[in-house]
Amino acid sequence: MRKPLVAGNWKMHGSRQAAKTLLESIKQGAVGISDIDIAVFPSFVHLQQAQELLAKTSITWGAQNLYVGESGAFTGEVSGPMLVDYGCQYVLIGHSERRHVFKEDLALVAAKLKSACDVKLKPVLCLGETLEQRKSDQTEQIIAEQLESAIDTVGIKSLQNMVLAYEPVWAIGTGLTATPEQAQAVHSYIRKLLAKQEVALANTMRILYGGSVKADNAAGLFAMPDIDGALVGGASLEAKSFLGICEAAVKEFKEGLLS
């Protein structure tokens, strides 16, 4: 059985004090939660606080982005080794805001993925279609292109160290969540794509759902057989709602063990 992961993407939010309060509240609230993995993705400037406050807890942290390579004349960018220095285990790659707002194409996303793998950061590779693409029945084609571009660059074996996140662009930050059935259909398609290359990997790969997940809609999503947790944006900025999502994941996981 795959261990669920609930990850909070804080995006470009929060002061130093707000990040401290949120980290402390999540740390307190997560005491005793051991059936699932929990990770937070603060902004770069709050990673040091995450490292200080979350060391010696089971909560891990990661960055929301990195740039290609180890170092160089890339003003304003942050490299994989710099993130490792701050104790990051994970890094988000290919988030829809990076693909669409910052126009990161398949080649750049794949190069970033490779840079993360090179320094043993675990990428959370985000995949997802826009509303227009869904309406024109292109969802599977887009997901396949995004996944295959990644596999072609880093090789199928590297995916063992990754997490995938299906995040329909139309559901991110909009309050429009995919129904559990819509999300399950895409998760199951992703798993089938993986299985064509390596069945064992397909069975063990954690595939998170992201897109307006809240404490009150999480259980329905987590009940789906191919949804292994969530990448949470807005609802991760408040400890109570983020922990509510974590608790929903714990409950589903325990019920899954019993069934």
Q: How far is the CB of 100 from ligand PEP (least distance, A)?
A: 12
Examine residue 173 and tell whether it contacts ligand PEP (CB under 6 A). yes
Instruction: State the angle between helix axes of 180-197 and 139-154 in degrees (0 to 180), rounded to the nearest 10.
Output: 40
Is there a contact between 184 and 226 (Cβ–Cβ < 8 Å)?
Answer: yes
Is there a contact between 59 and 38 (Cβ–Cβ < 8 Å)?
Answer: yes
CB closer to ligand PEP out of 155 and 173: 173
Q: Write a three-state SS string for 34-93.
A: CCCEEEEECCHHHHHHHHHHHCCCCCEEEECCCECCCCCCCCCCCEHHHHHHCCCCEEEE
Q: How far is the CB of 126 from ligand PEP (least distance, A)?
A: 7
Considering only residues 1 through 60, tell me which ones interact with ligand PEP, judged by CB under 6 A: 9
Q: What x-and-dash track marks residues 209-248 binding ligand PEP by CB under 6 A? A: -xxxx-----------------xxxxx-------------
Number of residues that bind ligand PEP (CB under 6 A): 13
Examine residue 80 and tell whether it contacts ligand PEP (CB under 6 A). no
Going 123 to 11 to 77 to 142, the CA torsion angle's sign is positive
CB closer to ligand PEP out of 5 and 232: 232
Which residue number has the CB closest to ligand PEP?
A: 233
Count CB-CB contacts under 10 A for residue 101: 9
Q: Measure Cα distances from 195 to 141, 185, 188, 200, 204 in Å.
A: 17, 15, 10, 7, 10
Q: How far is the CB of 212 from ligand PEP (least distance, A)?
A: 4
Question: DSSP class of residue 233?
Answer: S
- Positions marked catalytic: 95, 167
Examine residue 167 and tell whether it contacts ligand PEP (CB under 6 A). yes
CB closer to ligand PEP out of 23 and 124: 124
Residues near ligand PEP (CB under 6 A) are 9, 167, 172-173, 210-213, 231-235
